[in-house]
């Protein structure tokens, strides 16, 4: 059954939540009284629709239904999840939460996107504080998996467990914190860096662009996959974390940061930073920057997904949940996906190599259907492709949804031959065909051999069904 | 002429420098009296040899010659660059620099890898302070592009310019700082985060693993491509950086960090961190962790290179410098590269799609040779592949060096037909062949058309030469 999320406050963060829910098949009910809310929501949805489907090698569920409402009370009616993302003023949050509680069922979970307030602060006047917690996401909410999940002593632990499940179901990584603290975890780290950055600019050691380079050319790449502690464990070498701490502990007493003090963000410093930022990025509009950021994130997240590491693990797990069970129809639909930005070349269309990858993935679906993936591979057997003949019939662009239909044209002995047709989802246009010959192999001998009887029989059945349908 | 680098101190950082120079074709002379130095050097070189060549889609230069020496004086003889990476104790640095200056020519540049000391501190007793500067890299030095370049008032500006050129030639991103400051730029940011992290662990808000997740599931991904200022500019929206500063400036006065104070790294806190780190990563050896980190970095850096963004721009620029001019021999060598880790699939070998990519890249080399790339594409013409027939003859593994030999088998009118052979560099074994048909197109009409006369003539000449060589 389709679930419903109520989004109260649809600025950049609220709109990001709306997109995350909607594209994962939830109906979404939005309330935001601000005049620019509709524009933000539309722009964010457009960005999310372009990029979120590119993260996965399978299709997302059918998009839910989006409706706009005139009040928080109207928006939360019948909701299975309520997400509050209004401005960071405690009185405003309290007023909105009061309105939500008047209209919502008492058991409906309410997550707050607050970056600064603790759940205890939010719960001060709550009628049903047990279902109220902090669910703090990161911009862009539709692409970044992290969401900090914080309850107080009053929050019902079961509510947090079930919230965690819901967020995982959206492809996110819920991170339950062990205690309440101002600004939670990630924003504290960001605030520390931010303060140090302000000093570096103020003291003229580096410009905003140079500081950005100091981050993204070096430790930013480490942090995208390991974080700080695992990186330092590695720096400690075989002698481990205790050795590292003994070695670098003394630096805590050295003047390596100015953070005993906070710079005054006066007009002069604001002007310096703003002017440097203009020099660095002023030639790009905010839409350009967001486009660039999103495309970079798609490429980085896909790189990590292929390695099943860090944020890529979250994606890989979500993809497995999204993967449809293969249906033994003729032809079989063996792929349904969106072409990601990292698949195009200088001609502006999908590179020929990526067609090969799509047909390779299509073959894997057939192999899964005949029981020749997973355990079978672990037991030392597989199919290797020995020849492909691909015809490229029409251009395929980044962002286009495609599907592949596959037929077994030969399936006896060591041989498996497939004929794939790749089509554009929008209009069914034929984009490419592939005649693909695979040979059954022993992975220990790395040589051709006969498949095991179950696989041989399943393959024979599939080949017969496909031959019959054609005849 | 082959250049020579002297590496004084070959711990993890010095060994990383040795690898970076060596794999970019420099001869390297190493001195380190520590008993484990040879082992560190060998392990680091093995890691670098496995991964650095994977970053580029062309081959690195022939590796230089590595020699070990008994003293700093012996190591620096005849060096074009001296890199000091001994322990972080000022007296030790001074003693080593004195020994270096006694043996080295007075104009040879000396870079120090120090993370804590300023160039002025290093120069205190220097005979020729003008050629002394800080060149502070980041671990792993052979993969991460960032190197902070810091001079003092005494450092010769020309020395810094020429150092910058040398470092760019190694595929690095030299970041000249505008002033001297303890710990330079990046380590100050790291120190700020580190101190905040220590508080979070001490106060039991999150474990080391949870903090790492808070980084790598969220802002670590933003920082791998944009850094902090550009990210915040985007957060400020159309109203720009001034708006962002006005909105978030007040947070500077809020208790969002404990950094007015420094936690005491006592035995209890050391034990807590070490135990949490063991729970997080104790099942992985340091070699496992380094392997994982390097593979992740290869995948992330390659993702950014394909988009020509952030650190990927540095790689792309280095790759262009490394790209050999095509030689119109028969057959033409159109590819020479190392198979990266992100190209393999569940069978443990290169996925069939990546063969398609290699042959696509091989075709680009032929197109460059006949003048049908770059400007020609910008003018609105290109060749699109319409059919490929690939035979996969032997398995190809990650880390293997391969090359492709290509022949024009048809080159008249709109048609260009190529026959490629992909071979293993080690033994010349034939791995795959590809019969590839391309059609000349107008990029505005997205339809086939005749090539321009210069391209048609160049293609006809190449086709004739290849036909003759076969006959």
Dump the DSSP string for B393-461. -S---TT-EEEEEEEEEEEETTEEEEEEEEEETTT--EEEEEEEEEEEEETTTTEE-PPPHHHHHHHHH
Substitution target in A34, A54, A257 with the highest count of B β-carbons within 10 Å is: A257
A231/B395 Cα distance (integer angstroms): 34
Q: List, for chain A, all residue ranges whose pLDDT scores fall below the cut of 70.
A: 249-265, 326-328, 470-471
Radius of gyration of chain A (CA): 26
Nearest to A185 by CA among A149, A131, A139: A149
Q: Which residue has the tokens 């034939």?
A: B430
Q: Do B351 and A358 touch (CB under 8 A)?
A: no
Chain A residues closer than 8 Å to B341 by CB: 307
Q: Which DSSP symbol is given to B55?
A: G
Q: Which residues of B touch A280 (CB under 8 A)?
A: 229-230
- pLDDT at site A252: 65
Asked if A118 contacts A152 with a C-beta cutoff of 8 angstroms, the reply is yes
From residue B151, alpha-carbon distances to A318, B59, B111, B147, B189 in Å are 49, 34, 10, 13, 20
- Determine, for residues B233 and A191 on separate chains, whether the beta-carbon distance falls below 8 Å: no
Distances (CA, A) of B32 to B14, B15, B74, B110, B122: 9, 10, 11, 17, 19
Both tokens assigned to A375: 């355990």
Closest by Cβ to B286, choosing from A216, A234, A285: A234
Note the pLDDT of residue B456.
97
Alpha helix (H) residue ranges in B203-329: 208-214, 220-223, 227-236, 240-248, 267-281, 286-307, 311-322
Give residue B455's Cα distance to chain centre: 35
Q: How far apart are CA A231 and CA B46, in angstroms?
A: 20
Fold of A4-182: Rossmann fold (3.40.50)
Give the pLDDT score at A258: 56
Q: Which residues of B280-308 are buried (b: 16+ CB within 10 A; e: fewer)?
A: bbeeeebeebbbbbbbbbbbbbbbbbbbe
Give CA–CA dist A299/A302, Å, rounded: 5
Tokens linked to B131: 């050629």
Assess B392–A contact: CB distance below 8 Å, yes or no: yes
Cis peptide before B331 (omega within 30 of 0): yes
Nearest to A313 by CA among A171, A149, A167, A135: A171
- What is the rounded (10 degree) CA torsion for B431, B435, B437, B443? 0
- Between strands A173-176 and A146-150, the pairing is parallel
> pLDDT per position in chain B (471 positions), as tens?
899 999 999 999 999 999 999 999 999 999 999 998 999 999 999 999 989 998 998 889 999 999 999 999 999 999 999 999 999 999 999 999 999 999 999 999 999 999 989 999 999 999 999 999 999 999 999 999 999 999 999 999 999 999 999 999 999 999 999 999 989 999 999 988 988 888 888 889 999 999 999 999 999 999 998 888 888 888 777 777 777 777 776 666 665 565 555 566 677 777 777 777 788 777 888 778 788 888 888 899 999 998 888 888 888 988 888 888 766 677 899 999 999 988 998 888 999 999 999 999 999 999 999 999 999 999 999 999 999 999 999 999 998 999 999 999 999 999 999 999 999 999 999 999 999 999 999 999 999 999 999 999 999 999 999 988 766
Phi, psi of B83 (to 5 degrees): -120, 120
CB B233 within 8 A of CB A281: yes
Can you tell me the distance from the alpha carbon of B422 to that of B406, in angstroms, rounded to the nearest whole number? 9
Architecture of domain B186-282: Orthogonal Bundle (1.10)
In this complex, do A303 and B302 lie within 8 Å of one another by their Cβ atoms?
A: yes
Burial A445-463 (b: 16+ CB within 10 A, else e): eeeeeebeeebbebbeebb
List the 249-268 stretch of B: residues with Cβ below 8 A of A: 249, 251-257, 259-263, 265
Q: Which residues of A carry a binding-site annotation for NAD(+)?
A: 9-14
Chain B CB contacts of A250 under 8 Å are none
- From-to residues of CATH 1.10.1040.10 in chain B: 186-282
Contacts of B247 (CB under 8 A, 6+ apart): B236
A81: left (phi over 0), alpha (psi -120 to 50) or beta: beta
* Interatomic CA distance for residues A174 and A172, integer angstroms: 6
Task: Round to whole Å and give the CA distance between A18 and A22.
Answer: 6
Contacts of A290 (CB under 8 A, 6+ apart): A47, A140, B234
Q: Contact at 8 Å (CB) between A95 and A126?
A: no
Give which of B429, B361, B421, B360 is closest to B395, Cα–Cα. Answer: B429
For chain A, where do the domains classified as CATH 3.40.50.720 start and end? 4-182
Question: Which residue of A44, A150, A234 to mutate against B (max B Cβ within 10 Å)?
Answer: A234
Give yes or no for a contact between A171 and A165, defined as CB atoms under 8 angstroms apart.
Answer: no
How far is Cα A2 from Cα A133, in angstroms, rounded to an integer? 23
Q: How close A104 comes to chain B (CA, Å)?
A: 31
Q: Which of 72-131 (B) contact A at CB < 8 A?
A: 116
Instruction: List CB contacts (< 8 A) between B190 and chain A.
Output: 219, 228
Q: Hey, what's the torsion of the CAs at A217, A222, A225, A226, to 10 degrees?
A: -170
Task: Give tens-digit pLDDT for A231-255.
Answer: 888 877 777 777 777 777 666 666 5
Structure confidence by residue, pLDDT tens digits, B56-88: 988 899 999 999 999 999 999 999 999 999 999
* pTM of the entire predicted model: 0.90
The SS3 call for residue B84 is strand
| B55 and B144 Cβ atoms separated by less than 8 Å | no
Residue A74's nearest CA partner among A96, A98, A104 is: A104
| Angstroms from A64 CA to nearest CA on chain B | 26
Tokens of A66: 């989006």
CB contact under 8 A, A228 and B357: no
- Residues in chain B with CB shorter than 8 Å from the CB of A345 are 360
- Helices A286-307, A311-322: axis angle to 10 degrees equals 80
**Whether A194 contacts B228, CB under 8 Å:** yes
In Å, what is the CA distance from A168 to each residue of A149, A161, B18, B166, B263?
12, 11, 44, 48, 35
Q: Token pair of B436, please?
A: 């590839």
Binding residues of A: 9-14
For testing the chain B interface, which of A43, A183, A259 should be mutated: the one with the most B CBs within 10 Å? A259
CA distance, residue A78 to nearest chain B CA (Å): 31
Nearest CA in chain A to B181: A205
Counting Cα atoms < 13 Å in the Cβ hemisphere of A109 gives 26
- Is B309 touching A (CB cutoff 8 A)? yes
For every residue of A397-412, DSSP letters joined together read -TT-EEEEEEEEEEEE
Q: Could you give the CA distance from residue A302 to residue A315 in angstroms, rounded to a whole number?
A: 8
Residues of B in contact with A388 (CB under 8 A): 352, 388-390, 392
Tell me whether the omega of the peptide bond preceding residue B140 falls within 30 degrees of 0, making it cis: yes
Interface test with A, best of B41, B139, B149, B221 (most A CBs within 10 A): B221
Furthest CA-CA distance within chain B: 81
Interface of B with A in 172-191 (CB under 8 A): 173, 175, 177-179, 181-183, 185-191
The DSSP call for residue A178 is S
ipTM tops the 0.85 cut: yes
Residue B12, marked binder: yes
Largest Cα span, chain A: 81
Domain boundaries for CATH 3.10.129.10 within chain A? 325-470
CB contact under 8 A, B221 and A144: yes
Task: Give B52 to chain A, closest Cα distance, Å.
Answer: 15
3-state SS assignment for residue B110 = strand
Assigned CATH topology for domain A325-470 = Thiol Ester Dehydrase; Chain A (3.10.129)
CA dihedral B276, B208, B182, B75 (to 10 degrees): 60
A223 touching chain B per CB within 8 A: yes
Q: Residues for chain B: how many in total?
A: 471
Helix (H, G, I), strand (E, B) or coil at B211: helix
Nearest CA in chain A to B244: A274
Cα–Cα distance between A315 and A306 in angstroms, integer? 10
């Amino acid at each position: 059954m389709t679930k419903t999320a109520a989004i109260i406050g649809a600025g950049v963060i609220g709109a990001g939540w709306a997109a995350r829910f909607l594209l994962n098949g939830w109906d979404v009910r939005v309330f935001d009284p601000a005049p620019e809310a509709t524009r933000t929501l539309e722009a964010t949805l457009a960005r999310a629709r372009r990029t979120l489907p590119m993260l996965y090698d399978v299709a997302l569920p059918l998009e839910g239904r989006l409706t706009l409402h005139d009040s928080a009370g109207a928006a939360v009616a019948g909701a299975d999840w309520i997400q509050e993302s209004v401005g960071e003023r405690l009185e405003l949050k309290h007023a909105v939460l009061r309105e939500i509680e008047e209209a919502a069922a008492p058991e409906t979970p309410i997550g707050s996107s607050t970056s600064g307030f603790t759940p205890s602060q939010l719960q001060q006047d709550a009628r049903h504080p047990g279902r109220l917690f902090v669910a703090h996401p990161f911009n862009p909410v539709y692409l970044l998996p992290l969401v900090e999940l914080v309850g107080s002593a009053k929050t019902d632990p079961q509510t947090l467990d079930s919230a965690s499940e819901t967020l995982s179901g959206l492809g996110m990584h819920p991170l339950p914190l062990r205690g309440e603290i101002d600004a939670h975890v990630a924003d504290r780290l960001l605030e520390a860096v931010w303060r140090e950055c302000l000093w570096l600019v103020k003291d003229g050691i580096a410009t905003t662009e140079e500081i950005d380079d100091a981050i993204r050319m070096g430790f930013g790449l480490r942090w995208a996959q390991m974080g700080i502690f695992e990186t330092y464990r590695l720096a400690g070498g075989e002698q481990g974390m205790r050795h590292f701490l003994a070695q670098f502990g003394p630096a805590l007493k050295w003047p390596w940061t100015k953070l005993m003090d906070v710079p005054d963000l006066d007009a002069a410093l604001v002007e310096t930073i703003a002017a440097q930022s203009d020099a660095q990025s002023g030639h790009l509009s905010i839409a350009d920057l967001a486009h660039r950021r999103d495309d970079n994130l798609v490429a980085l997240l896909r790189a990590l997904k292929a390695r099943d590491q860090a944020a890529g693990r979250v994606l890989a797990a979500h993809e497995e949940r999204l993967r449809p069970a293969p249906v033994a129809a003729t032809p079989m639909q063996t792929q349904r996906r969106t072409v990601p930005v990292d698949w195009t070349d200088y001609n502006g269309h999908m590179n020929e190599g990526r067609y090969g990858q799509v047909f390779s993935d299509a073959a894997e679906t057939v192999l899964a259907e005949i029981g020749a993936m997973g355990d079978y591979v672990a037991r030392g057997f597989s199919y290797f492709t020995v020849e492909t003949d691909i015809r490229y019939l029409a251009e395929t662009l980044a962002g286009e949804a495609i599907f592949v239909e596959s037929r077994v044209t030969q399936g006896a002995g060591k041989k498996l031959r497939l004929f794939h047709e790749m089509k554009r989802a929008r209009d069914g246009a034929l984009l490419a065909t592939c005649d693909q010959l695979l040979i059954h192999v022993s992975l220990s001998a790395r040589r051709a051999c006969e498949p095991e009887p179950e696989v041989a029989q399943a393959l024979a059945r599939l080949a017969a069904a496909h031959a019959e349908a054609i005849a």
